Amino acid sequence: MTVSPTTTNALDALHAAELIRKAKRIVVLTGAGVSTPSGIPDFRSEGTGLWSREEPLEVASLNTFRTAPEKFFQWFRPLAGQVFNAQPNAAHQALAELEQHGAPLSIATQNIDGLHQKAGSKEVFELHGTIRTLSCTQCFKQYASPPFLQAFIENGTMPRCPNCNGILKPDVILFGEQLPHTAWQAAQSATRQADLMLVAGSSLEVLPVAGLPMQALDRGAHLIVVNNSPTYINVRADVVFMDDVAAILPEIVKRALHG
């Protein structure tokens, strides 16, 4: 059942809350829509999405980074500033609160911004990598990103390794790269054990991550979808909210924790 942005059905919120209360293992799959209320643009929205202005394979591929890193960093600089300065919103905070109250919760996220961790979530699988660290392309040393990104955002200087002067690559997954093995295996394992999956702010258009909800359903899990546009899995969901995640998730969590 689908709710509109202005007439959120209280019965649907109660149903979703009840599914959360009864769940023995919850996996929350989050996408860009969870972070857009924090000022981070998504990729596919018409006119505002990052890919509405750039061709992904020309700026955000591993091949581009290897052959023309300056082109990648020119594209990446505005996004890095938005991510670096972003703060968790009500959706991130609601999920962290749910976990802090003892819910058996894991978050598998397609986002690179680290906002789930900033909000206080502990078990987070970063399926598309993270902006929180950078790795040297020459000596492979890894560094916390804030000192390097702050200088890069302010003056555009390409981040370089203090050890060997190699170019530092943000530990985000570019087109042409494999997903991080440890995070992907952990997300798949959690999905196999889940009796409830909550999809929040993801259009479910990018494989292989988009296949996780189907894996959960095939094992008998319940499904809640909160996204402001349709997804391929809506027809299989127990409850669907087509609305802003920063409005819906806090309401569901409030009802789950406090009735």
The arithmetic mean of pLDDT across residues 54-74, rounded, is 84
Residue 238 domain-assigned (yes or no): yes
> Among 143, 172, 201, which residue terminates a domain?
172
Instruction: Give the domain range for residue 148.
Output: 51-85+130-172
User: In the chain, how many domains are there?
Assistant: 2
Looking at the structure, tell me whether residues 150 and 252 fall in a common domain: no
Residue 11 domain-assigned (yes or no): yes
Residue 148 domain-assigned (yes or no): yes
Looking at the structure, tell me whether residues 160 and 250 fall in a common domain: no
Looking at the structure, tell me whether residues 94 and 151 fall in a common domain: no
What is the Cα–Cα distance from 182 to 79, expressed in whole angstroms?
A: 26
∠ CA 199-201-203, nearest 5°, is 85
CB atoms within 10 A of CB 43: 18
Residue 52 CB partners (closer than 8 Å, separation 6+): 44, 45, 46
Q: Which of 92, 128, 181, 222 is catalytic?
A: 128
Looking at the structure, tell me whether residues 163 and 60 fall in a common domain: yes
What is the Cα–Cα distance from 100 to 106, expressed in whole angstroms?
A: 12
Looking at the structure, tell me whether residues 156 and 233 fall in a common domain: no
Looking at the structure, tell me whether residues 189 and 103 fall in a common domain: yes
> Among 172, 204, 238, which residue terminates a domain?
172
Residue 45 domain-assigned (yes or no): no
Rounded to a whole number of angstroms, the CA Rg of the chain reads 19
Check which CATH number belongs to the domain holding 143 and give it. 3.30.1600.10
Buried b (16+ CB within 10 A) or exposed e, 53-90: eeeeeebbbeebbeeebeebbebbeebbeebbebebbb
Is 128 an annotated catalytic residue?
Answer: yes
Looking at the structure, tell me whether residues 154 and 243 fall in a common domain: no
The arithmetic mean of pLDDT across residues 94-123, rounded, is 97
pLDDT tens track for 117-175: 999 999 999 999 999 999 999 999 999 999 999 999 999 989 999 999 999 999 999 99
Looking at the structure, tell me whether residues 166 and 222 fall in a common domain: no
Residue 46 domain-assigned (yes or no): no
Output the pLDDT for position 58: 76
Looking at the structure, tell me whether residues 75 and 92 fall in a common domain: no
Residue 252 domain-assigned (yes or no): yes
Check which CATH number belongs to the domain holding 112 and give it. 3.40.50.1220
What is the Cα–Cα distance from 27 to 31, expressed in whole angstroms?
A: 13
Q: What would the two tokens of residue 222 be? A: 């319940």
The arithmetic mean of pLDDT across residues 236-251, rounded, is 96
pLDDT tens track for 184-220: 999 999 999 999 999 999 999 989 999 999 999 999 9
Output the pLDDT for position 55: 57
Output the pLDDT for position 54: 54
Looking at the structure, tell me whether residues 196 and 154 fall in a common domain: no
Looking at the structure, tell me whether residues 32 and 151 fall in a common domain: no
Looking at the structure, tell me whether residues 204 and 257 fall in a common domain: yes
Output the pLDDT for position 48: 42
**Contact yes or no for 199/233 (Cβ under 8 A):** yes
